[in-house]
A and B are shown apart, each in its own frame.
Chain A
Amino acid sequence: MKEHAIKQISIFLENKPGRLARLAKAIIDSGVNILALNIAEAGDFGIVRMLVDKPRIAYEELQKKGFTVSSTDVLGIKIKNEPGELYKISKALGDANINIDYAYAYSSNSEAYLILRVSNLNESILNIQKIGLELMDSSVFE
């Protein structure tokens, strides 16, 4: 089950012009590529969450550069790019009394990924597998 826990990198940023650029530059310099990205903003600060190809390196490099960074286990669920998929997942988790702390998604032509932070990771994995959906594997990340 552990292989389905994906390492997401989260960074605390002040909500000010230029802060994201500073972060983006630091990521380039770390030689890391961003696969998915989400920014949540709350007044004077924001939290950037991202899936990258090399989470361990990203974490270490950003911390070295003085960013407030954390590494969080999230789920990446592979879904079809068609109506009804979000409902299927959120209903399954809701029925199991699992809370979705936050979510973001990206899609290409045929397929899409939904990324979730949930209140109970293991329970979620079981419930997602029960409805026959495929989970992203941490082995695709370095």
Chain B
Amino acid sequence: MEYWNPRIEKIPADELRKMQYKLLKMLVYRLYNFSPYYRRKFKKHNITPDDIKNCEDVSKLPFTYKKDLRDNYPDKMFAVPQQEIVRYHVSSGTTGKPTIVAYTQQDINLWTESLARSLTACGIGRGNIIQISYGYGLFTGGLGLHYGAERVGASVIPTGTGNTERQIELMQDMKVNSIACTPSYLIHMAEKAENLGISIKNDTNLKIAILGAEPWSEKTRQRIEDELGIDAYDIYGMSEFNGPMFTECSEKSGIHIWGDHMLVEVVDPKTGEVLEEGEEGELVVTTLQKEALPLIRYRTGDITELYQDLCECGRAHQRIARIKGRADDMLIIRGINVFPSQIEYVLMQTREVGKHFQLVVERDGALDKMTVRVEVSTEAFSDKINDMIALKNRIKDRLKHFLNINTEVELLEPGSLPRFEGKAKRIIDKREF
């Protein structure tokens, strides 16, 4: 069993808890004194650093929501001056503006450290050749894994997304033995390879896959492992707290959350009440060491549970179950977060269509396909087919510009979409994970 940082990774549970307490206390002290945003929030809730007397006292602190990041766009939640920031990433917002996340050099170092530990736990290190097929750029997946993989000494091929045939060619020619991508992209790649007469199992050296950024199931893991002859590991993260950060270990039984980086709780998504280990609820995270954008009790919206028993691998760091779903209506399409409210926002600005819409998500081969169904307004109707196709493309372009994914647009007759009294049910998700 290999460890990247055995001193921290093998720390006994009680010592880890003590360390978390110290880090939490320091965090609250720092934010109380130096972050105008959190200072205001703490004062409003009558919290001072003295209220934190043990780890459990985290539950006295107020929650932070995605909405807070939106309301404080672009930088009002940052806890350091701009000069200290070395990088920004951008993730999609729920409506209108995106969410900007910032990193100091220390944040990047810790993010890299977190992934170095996790990748080592998945068997990736010096001598491995890893292809990173997550998007590079504003999305956190590519660069995050890139830094982590370089840190452990692997040879990194930063392929990014797309151009699948070339990716397969590189995988063969460079004797790639590890890959990081979404599970659906790996399946897509395997299918494409098969069409080219290449079997990933027999004709490549691929042995390890780090898969995430979208929901997938144990059944899909089995299928991928059997058909490709590899070990597939689940990875977890979100841009609000760096990006991808944590993976399973060789036991493949839950994702280890490095306790010196993050304190996790699971709460009832409706009441916010803290749940016991083993109970299913919404994951809430507190970043213990982040400088630029610290998060106190951030509501991730991800549904999971905390595992109680100690992992066979010897790491006492808390494990969470595979993400089971969302507490809100967020969809993940090809690894990109999509909120129905974003689509509504785009359509509201498109006069040619009505305000009702429906989203149909399905699999086109291995990849996700999202169709936005909208009703054509009488004013926008032209009896020239070209005009109608142009309208369709205009909506597609706007959605692409805003969501950064390709969608199909289906034009419907007015009145053909269901109307709702109360909460609208606009999503038809036909995917199996």
Q: Is B382 an interface residue (CB 8 A)?
A: yes
> Which chain A residues border B411 with CB–CB below 8 Å?
12, 14, 44-45
Q: Of B385, B410, B413, which one neighbours A68 at CB under 8 angstroms?
A: B413
- Measured CB to CB, the closest approach of chain B to A116, in angstroms, equals 13
**Given contacts A47-B383, A70-B382, A70-B383, is CB(A12)–CB(B376) below 8 Å?**
yes
- Measured CB to CB, the closest approach of chain B to A67, in angstroms, equals 7
Q: Is A129 an interface residue (CB 8 A)?
A: no
CA distance A67 to B415 in the complex (A): 9
- Measured CB to CB, the closest approach of chain B to A47, in angstroms, equals 5
Q: Is B270 an interface residue (CB 8 A)?
A: no
CA distance A47 to B382 in the complex (A): 9
Q: Is A49 an interface residue (CB 8 A)?
A: yes
Interface residues of A in 24-74 (CB under 8 A from B): 40, 42, 44-45, 47, 49, 63, 66-70, 72
Complex contact A102–B414 (CB within 8 A): no
Complex contact A102–B384 (CB within 8 A): yes
Q: Is B412 an interface residue (CB 8 A)?
A: yes
- Measured CB to CB, the closest approach of chain B to A98, in angstroms, equals 15
Complex contact A67–B413 (CB within 8 A): yes
Interface residues of B in 369-398 (CB under 8 A from A): 376-378, 381-385, 388-389
Complex contact B414–A49 (CB within 8 A): no
Q: Of B383, B388, B414, which one neighbours A72 at CB under 8 angstroms?
A: B383
- Measured CB to CB, the closest approach of chain B to A80, in angstroms, equals 28
Q: Is A125 an interface residue (CB 8 A)?
A: no
Q: Is A10 an interface residue (CB 8 A)?
A: yes
Complex contact B413–A70 (CB within 8 A): no
Q: Is B416 an interface residue (CB 8 A)?
A: yes
Complex contact A69–B378 (CB within 8 A): yes
Interface residues of B in 340-390 (CB under 8 A from A): 376-378, 381-385, 388-389
- Measured CB to CB, the closest approach of chain B to A14, in angstroms, equals 6
> Which chain B residues border A68 with CB–CB below 8 Å?
376-378, 381, 413-414
Size category of the binding interface on chain B: 10 to 19
CA distance A10 to B382 in the complex (A): 8
Complex contact B384–A45 (CB within 8 A): no
Complex contact B385–A42 (CB within 8 A): yes
Q: Of B378, B382, B410, B413, which one neighbours A13 at CB under 8 angstroms?
A: B413
Q: Is A3 an interface residue (CB 8 A)?
A: no
Residue of A nearest to B377 (CB): A68
The main secondary structure of chain A at its interface with chain B is: strand
Q: Of A8, A12, A117, which one neighbours B381 at CB under 8 angstroms?
A: A12
Residue of A nearest to B371 (CB): A44
> Which chain B residues border A44 with CB–CB below 8 Å?
410-411
Q: Of B377, B378, B385, which one neighbours A47 at CB under 8 angstroms?
A: B385
CA distance A7 to B377 in the complex (A): 21
> Which chain A residues border B416 with CB–CB below 8 Å?
14
Q: Is A95 an interface residue (CB 8 A)?
A: no
Complex contact A10–B388 (CB within 8 A): no
Residue of B nearest to A63 (CB): B378
CA distance A90 to B360 in the complex (A): 44
Complex contact B384–A14 (CB within 8 A): no
Q: Is A142 an interface residue (CB 8 A)?
A: no
> Which chain B residues border A40 with CB–CB below 8 Å?
385
> Which chain B residues border A117 with CB–CB below 8 Å?
383-384
Q: Of A42, A66, A70, which one neighbours B414 at CB under 8 angstroms?
A: A66
Complex contact A101–B384 (CB within 8 A): yes
Task: Convert A78-113 into 0s and 1s, putting 1 for each residue whose CB lies closer than 8 angstroms to a CB of B.
Answer: 000000000000000000000001100000000000
CA distance A19 to B5 in the complex (A): 66
CA distance A10 to B384 in the complex (A): 9
Complex contact B383–A14 (CB within 8 A): no
CA distance A49 to B383 in the complex (A): 8
CA distance A19 to B412 in the complex (A): 11
Complex contact A14–B413 (CB within 8 A): yes
Task: Convert A1-27 into 0s and 1s, putting 1 for each residue whose CB lies closer than 8 angstroms to a CB of B.
Answer: 000000010101110000100000000
> Which chain B residues border A42 with CB–CB below 8 Å?
385, 388-389
CA distance A18 to B414 in the complex (A): 16
CA distance A94 to B414 in the complex (A): 37
> Which chain B residues border A72 with CB–CB below 8 Å?
383
> Which chain A residues border B381 with CB–CB below 8 Å?
10, 12, 68-70
- Measured CB to CB, the closest approach of chain B to A17, in angstroms, equals 14
- Measured CB to CB, the closest approach of chain A to B296, in angstroms, equals 47
> Which chain A residues border B388 with CB–CB below 8 Å?
12, 42, 45, 47
A-B contact pairs, 12 of them (CB 8 A): A12-B411, A14-B411, A14-B413, A40-B385, A42-B385, A42-B388, A44-B411, A47-B383, A49-B383, A68-B414, A70-B382, A102-B384
- 5 further contact pairs, Cβ within 8 A, besides A13-B413, A45-B410, A70-B383: A8-B383, A12-B381, A69-B378, A102-B384, A117-B383
Q: Which 8 A-B pairs have the closest CB atoms?
A: A10-B383, A68-B381, A42-B385, A44-B410, A66-B415, A45-B411, A68-B378, A12-B381
- Spell out A's residues near B (CB within 8 Å): 8, 10, 12-14, 19, 40, 42, 44-45, 47, 49, 63, 66-70, 72, 101-102, 117
